Amino acid sequence: MNIPRISSGIPALDNMLSGGFIPESSTLLRGAPGTGKTTFAFQFLIEGLRQNQPGLLVAFEEFPESLYRDAASLGWDLKSFEASGLLHIMFTSPEVFLHSLSTPESTLTRRLHEHNIQRIALDSLTHFTRITTNTHELRDIYNRVINGIRREQLTGLYLAEEMRSDFTADEKGRLSFIVDCIVLLRYLEIDSAIERAITVLKMRSSDHDKQIHRFTIEANDAPYASRIHIGPRLQGKAGLLAGLTERRIISNVRSTQ
């Protein structure tokens, strides 16, 4: 069966996701600081503009000026997108957002319904860790956020800072178990240069690309052109996800074991 997909705005990422995000699904985008998480969120929401699917960016404890400036440096005029009525930006705190999401007549829920919002990006879930140090409580908060957004039938992109070097380590709040899809952004050291890499770790109800790909971020003047360029899969490198890359052919590694 061919399920319609929600485009990420990045054609190569859509291919990695077998066509795009599943409608009304939740995707966790994890990455170290500066790997490009907010840029992915812009790309996802701006693609919504192109497809007449209104979107909302929720920014926690971010200065509005820096968000507009960062977007402008990539060639996006967020104010003009907002003026079109298809992009909405909300600056709030995790506590207020959580409360508004579960309150039927809050400014947030009214806004979602009045503007027929279909895509949402939260920048970032990491801010919710400030509400509590209790792991069970944090898991409950994540469930309330993600289920609240599912209830509103939105396709959600949740940004989160990568806290540790090993992605397999158990994480606080067990976020990876709650979401439908996980995309991981990483810095890699390859031949003495720092590069960025992307991989899809998990995707419920769908096949997906299991390879690791390099990507770059480049400014562009065309509003809908992708600022993120994903290359072919990385080959012949060992230890990529642990960030331990070196110029080493995997078959050589095997032969010395």
The Cα–Cα gap between 194 and 203 comes to: 28
The Cα–Cα gap between 57 and 119 comes to: 9
Residue 65 parent element (H or E): helix 64-73
Kindly tell me which of 22 and 145 has the beta carbon lying closer to Mg ion: 145
Q: By CB under 6 A, how many residues form the interface with ligand ATP?
A: 14
The Cα–Cα gap between 31 and 41 comes to: 13
Kindly tell me which of 18 and 187 has the beta carbon lying closer to ligand ATP: 187
DSSP 28: E
Kindly tell me which of 22 and 46 has the beta carbon lying closer to Mg ion: 46
| By the rule CB under 6 A, 36 interacts with ligand ATP | yes
Kindly tell me which of 231 and 236 has the beta carbon lying closer to ligand ATP: 231
Residue whose C-beta lies closest to Mg ion = 38
CB of 231 to ligand ATP, least distance (A): 16
| By the rule CB under 6 A, 225 interacts with ligand ATP | no
Three-state SS across 68-125?
A: HHHHHHCCCCHHHHHHCCCEEEEEECHHHHHHHHCCCCCHHHHHHHHCCCCEEEEECH
Q: Which stretch binds ligand ATP (CB under 6 A): 5-13, 66-74, 228-236, 237-245?
A: 66-74
Q: Which of residues 15-34 bind ligand ATP (CB under 6 A)?
A: 31, 33-34
CB of 162 to Mg ion, least distance (A): 12
Among 74, 98, 178, 234, contact with ligand ATP (rule: CB under 6 A):
74
Residue 223, CA atoms < 13 Å, CB-side half-sphere: 11
| By the rule CB under 6 A, 140 interacts with ligand ATP | no
| By the rule CB under 6 A, 217 interacts with ligand ATP | yes
Per DSSP bridges, beta strands 155-161 and 119-123 are: parallel
| By the rule CB under 6 A, 37 interacts with ligand ATP | yes
| By the rule CB under 6 A, 126 interacts with ligand ATP | no
Contact 156, 121 (CB under 8 A): yes
Residue 207 parent element (H or E): none
Kindly tell me which of 22 and 29 has the beta carbon lying closer to Mg ion: 29
Looking at the chain, the number of H-run helices and the number of E-run strands are 9, 9
DSSP 214: E
CB of 159 to ligand ATP, least distance (A): 7
Kindly tell me which of 39 and 155 has the beta carbon lying closer to ligand ATP: 39
Q: Which residues bind ligand ATP (CB under 6 A)?
A: 31, 33-39, 70, 73-74, 217-219
